[in-house]
Structure 1
Amino acid sequence: MNEEKERPAESGPEPAEKRIKVTWELTRDGMLQERRIEEPVPEAPSAPTGEQEEPRPAAGESGIEHPSALAEPSTPAVPSPSAEPAAPAEPSAPAGEEEIDDAEVWNCLPRPARRRQPRVQATIVSTAPAQTSGKGKPARKTAKKQGNHSAPPKKKSGGKKTLLQRIQRLDLRVLLVVLIVLIIIALIFGAVLLQQGGVVAAMARGDSGFSEQDGDSGDNAWNYDREESDTDQSLQRYEGDSSGVTLELKSSQGRTGLTYEALYKKCAPSAVSITVENDESSGSGTGIVLTRDGYIITCAHVVSDQSKAAVTTGDGKEYDALLVGSDPQTDLALLKIDAKGLTPAEFGDAGALTVGDEALAIGDPLGATFRGTLTNGIISAINRDVTLNGYAMTLIQTTAALNSGNSGGPLLNIYGQVVGVNNMKMVSSSTTVEGLGFAVPSTTAKEIIEALAREGGISRPVLGITCYGVDEKAAERNHTRPGLVVAKVSKKSDCAAKGLQAGDLITAIDGKAYTDVAEFKEYAAGFEIGHKVTLTVYRPKATDQAGGAASSSAGADGSAAAEPVEYESLGEITVAMVDQQDVS
């Protein structure tokens, strides 16, 4: 008789039995990934009433069950019809199937499956039932984990939306490019129109177009719109003897060019600042020291119609200036200050200049704030004929930067010699103008300055008016007549006594038509002071006398009229030539 052996007493509670669930999931990269989950083994359902539980086989002499038996499923009992249905048991592995090793599963897979698998999920062992939602339907997340092979994957709808957004962005870019192109075309077209208008005005006026932002004094004294003051304003005259003053021109042959630093150190003390004022305004300019005892060269338009002038030297001292003489025809003037020990400038021969030579300028652009400014450029033209406010001049053209306030300052060569007196630059209100500066040649300055020192002025027969020419093309564009338009009338002239005024149009002189001031200057050059000429004059019709010049289509500002200008004839007026010194 076999007796059951008693089991040894256990030292503690028996550990709960666990089952390892191994699943394989497909990653986003198309690779199979092993996933292991340990979970307790569910208890087997209790046997129905009336049936005996099948005894477990013994496991050795100790009577302890073999662990492998835990993985083998029990044979389910057949329930009786009267018994209540048992709770559904979890699915288990088929009877007789041994537990599959993970390495064996991986090795059994074909090689293509190891590298990349279709978008499905494979479950090797599944012991957990699918989760259900509250309504009995499988939850969406659980279905994804277990894999739904029947339902095709949903297509993303974001692709079409992204394509539509790209199309919209492309349309916006195209529209933006088209808009930018249209704006550029409009700007270019507007610039062309403005430039044409500026050229017409420049041709009609024939002047330098000085900026008028600083008023009507100093470097901006020549202004067509400026009416002559009721009171005669002029600088106090110097009564001393200036007959011994000379201007010497030195050669530059054999000299070595200076660096800009050395040149500025040499020439800066010879440039002075000039400030002028009258009862209505004030202005500024630049001057050149001629002698150690205070003779200063500057431009005539800087000191014209001024009641007071002051000179500030390089050491900061200020002196009152007196007028020795001026010549509006060449735009040169000579001043005298009570000073000693000044540094005179060295003058070179402008006749030795060639196009392309280096040129530098020292002056006070825009006033004393930028005092002693040095700019550089080249000689861009020689013997350039320019008409300024009715005066024909032969000047040096340079690219050295010149601005309002530079007038009267030195134009230097690379050896530090003064080869010109800066007097104007081209500007325009309708287009950009750069690098068009002009200077009176030193050869001209020598002749005029020495004459001013001896005689106090230059005697020339003049009409006492300033005017500018309007040729046939300019007249057609401006809806006016060709001829000489009067810009200014000196009160001391015979023309003023005969009733001429600004805005009048002179169509002929002694029966000959003139549209260029320089041509008339050549015609009158051989006349004596007091010689009489006959002018054919027309006056534009206006509602009032003061608006005569303003109503002219080619008037003081050189602008074109919107409608043709009607003129009334003043007939022929005979006037006498007067001395330039009397009206300057």
Structure 2
Amino acid sequence: MRRNLKAYISGIVISSLLSSSIVGSVIYSKFSSELQKQSQIIQNLSNNKNYSSINTIAANTISTGGTLTIPKIVKKVAPSIVGIRMNITIPNRINQVMSQSKAEGSGIIYDKNGYIMTNYHVVEYADPKNSYSKYTTLEVFLPDGRQTKAKFIGGDRKNDLAVIKIELDNLPVAELGDSSTLEVGETAVAIGNPLGMEFAGSVTSGIISAINRKVQVDDRTLNLIQTDAAINPGNSGGALVNSQGQVIGINTVKISSTGLEGLGFAIPINDAKPIVDQLMMFGYVKGRPFIGISGREITETISQIYNIPQGIYIMAVTSGSGAYKAGIRQGDIILKIAGVEVKTLSDIENIKSKYKAGDTVDVLLYRNGKQMTVKMTFSEER
């Protein structure tokens, strides 16, 4: 019975990629000659190469003062919006190319030393924590025609943010705004690469449709800005800009369905700043609790069929993690954490949000027909 259950659950594979479209072969075309002629924005930034604070960067950028026309917004911001290509090449046993795929998105240069912020899902296969990272390379394409390889610095799947770095001089840096001052109805301009590099540097405009929208993305709930400025695959990681030419959001996802239009979403820049700052300095967000399990939800239907309790079925346990040290193992079903019932992966995330790395909680398990309680200390997510 357990073997059949495991086979059933293992067969449930849910894969989603919010990012840029994946293409078999895309030829990079340069941005328009108009953008190539645009003057770069000169920034007065900290000379500390490795640990400059994003808040300092925002404070030192050039202030524009008043409202700009959309063409002036584009001239100011577009030079700092780059294209990002993630190339995955998996060789076969005799070292010949077995399969190739590419994913393309956007990014924002926010530091003169070459640091670029983007969405995690745009570059996730380059993350050393991903088993495909050794097969993955990153390329960055600038509006002035330059292109270069990039290094993965850090990523945070929970907030869908990442930082990569390029080694080039004379980089135009975006000015960061204050998303806490946004009002519904004000101008919003989206700049990025919808559908890949062929349409690099595309500009769409609209308004801020709503703020503080809670949007469910896979097993996470993100706090996002809603806009009717067109956002499409490939825009991920690009800039949502206000009427002063300041980046106030990172374009992340759209909701698309027959009959629906104008539902694009961006991560508020004030939410992104502290995360990106830590990714730049440490490569991860410090102090975040980590359990170290991969699991599937036992629904009410599965519970009745197999005569087991609802909870989270453990598919795998990360070596050295809090779960591993607590003795939690593959095949267990988590019923409660810290006295709170667990029936969905979202339940686990909600519980984790109340604790920090180093905290210890009781975990109620179901194993081989019996319930048991273990003490688990959250490790640090890296």
Q: TM-score, normalised by structure 1?
A: 0.47
Quickly say closer, same or farther: Cα 1:532–1:295, change in 2 above 3 A: same
Secondary structure in 1 aligned to 2:125? coil
Shift of 1:404: 1.6
Q: Is the 8 A contact 2:154 2:164 kept in 1?
A: yes
Quickly say closer, same or farther: Cα 1:505–1:378, change in 2 above 3 A: farther
Shift of 1:271: 0.2
Counterpart check, 1:462 vs 2:272: no
Q: Is the 8 A contact 2:21 2:196 kept in 1?
A: no
Q: Which residue matches 1:242? A: 50
Show the 5 A alignment for 1:177-326: 210=18, 214=22, 242-247=50-55, 248-249=57-58, 255-280=65-90, 281-306=101-126, 307-326=136-155
Q: Which residue matches 2:198? A: 369
Q: Which residue matches 2:264? A: 437
Q: Distance in 2 between matches of 1:271 and 1:243?
A: 22
Q: Which amino acid in structure 1 is aligned with residue 107 of structure 2?
A: G
Quickly say closer, same or farther: Cα 1:254–1:341, change in 2 above 3 A: closer
Q: Is the 8 A contact 1:387 1:518 kept in 2?
A: no
Q: Is the 8 A contact 1:346 1:416 kept in 2?
A: yes
Q: Which amino acid in structure 2 is aligned with residue 321 of structure 1?
A: A
Secondary structure in 2 aligned to 1:267? helix
Shift of 1:448: 1.4
Gap regions ≥5 residues in structure 2: 1-12, 24-47, 91-100, 127-135
Q: Which amino acid in structure 1 is aligned with residue 67 of structure 2?
A: G
Secondary structure in 2 aligned to 1:334? strand
Counterpart check, 1:578 vs 2:379: yes
Structure number with the higher strand fraction is: 2
Kindly provide the CA deviation profile for residues 459-481 of structure 1, in whole angstroms up to 9, marking residues without a partner as x.
21122357798998xx79xx999
Q: Which residue matches 1:406? A: 235
Q: Which residue matches 1:422? A: 251
Q: Which residue matches 2:9? A: none
Kindly provide the CA deviation profile for residues 143-173 of structure 1, in whole angstroms up to 9, marking residues without a partner as x.
xxxxxxxxxxxxxxxxxxxxxxxxxxxxxxx
Compare relative contact order (CA 8 Å, sep 6+) and give the higher one, 1 or 2.
2
Q: Distance in 1 between matches of 2:243 and 2:296?
A: 36
Shift of 1:293: 2.7
Q: Is the 8 A contact 2:230 2:262 kept in 1?
A: yes
Shift of 1:339: 0.7
Secondary structure in 2 aligned to 1:348? coil
Quickly say closer, same or farther: Cα 1:325–1:260, change in 2 above 3 A: same
Q: Which residue matches 2:167? A: 338
Q: Which residue matches 1:355? A: 184
Shift of 1:576: 5.2
Quickly say closer, same or farther: Cα 1:267–1:580, change in 2 above 3 A: same
Shift of 1:267: 1.2
Q: Which amino acid in structure 2 is aligned with residue 278 of structure 1?
A: I
Quickly say closer, same or farther: Cα 1:374–1:463, change in 2 above 3 A: same
Q: Distance in 2 between matches of 1:385 and 1:271?
A: 26
Q: Distance in 2 between matches of 1:266 and 1:293?
A: 19
Show the 5 A alignment for 1:6-17: none
- Point out the structure with max Rg over C-alpha: 1
Q: Is the 8 A contact 1:206 1:388 kept in 2?
A: no
Q: Distance in 1 between matches of 2:234 and 2:177?
A: 23
Q: Which residue matches 2:278? A: 451
Shift of 1:419: 0.1
Quickly say closer, same or farther: Cα 1:347–1:246, change in 2 above 3 A: same
Quickly say closer, same or farther: Cα 1:354–1:345, change in 2 above 3 A: same
Secondary structure in 2 aligned to 1:403? coil
Gap regions ≥5 residues in structure 1: 1-204, 216-239, 539-567
Q: Which amino acid in structure 2 is aligned with residue 452 of structure 1?
A: L
Secondary structure in 2 aligned to 1:278? strand
Kindly provide the CA deviation profile for residues 533-554 of structure 1, in whole angstroms up to 9, marking residues without a partner as x.
525469xxxxxxxxxxxxxxxx
Q: Is the 8 A contact 1:509 1:536 kept in 2?
A: no
Secondary structure in 1 aligned to 2:68? coil
Q: Is the 8 A contact 1:356 1:378 kept in 2?
A: yes
Q: Distance in 2 between matches of 1:387 and 1:573?
A: 31
Q: Is the 8 A contact 1:322 1:335 kept in 2?
A: yes
Quickly say closer, same or farther: Cα 1:373–1:389, change in 2 above 3 A: same
Q: TM-score, normalised by structure 2?
A: 0.69
Kindly provide the CA deviation profile for residues 407-450 of structure 1, in whole angstroms up to 9, marking residues without a partner as x.
1111111221100111222245xx45432222111111221122
Q: Is the 8 A contact 2:17 2:121 kept in 1?
A: no
Q: Distance in 1 between matches of 2:378 and 2:192?
A: 37
Quickly say closer, same or farther: Cα 1:213–1:322, change in 2 above 3 A: closer
Show the 5 A alignment for 1:97-108: none
Q: Which residue matches 1:513? A: 341
Shift of 1:344: 0.4
Q: Is the 8 A contact 2:21 2:104 kept in 1?
A: no
Shift of 1:456: 2.5
Q: Distance in 2 between matches of 1:349 and 1:290?
A: 15
Q: Distance in 1 between matches of 2:183 and 2:14?
A: 26
Shift of 1:507: 4.7
Q: Which residue matches 1:81? A: none
Shift of 1:352: 0.5
Q: Which amino acid in structure 2 is aligned with residue 405 of structure 1?
A: G
Q: Cα RMSD over matched residues?
A: 4.1
Q: Is the 8 A contact 2:294 2:315 kept in 1?
A: yes
Shift of 1:260: 1.9
Show the 5 A alignment for 1:68-107: none
Quickly say closer, same or farther: Cα 1:246–1:498, change in 2 above 3 A: same
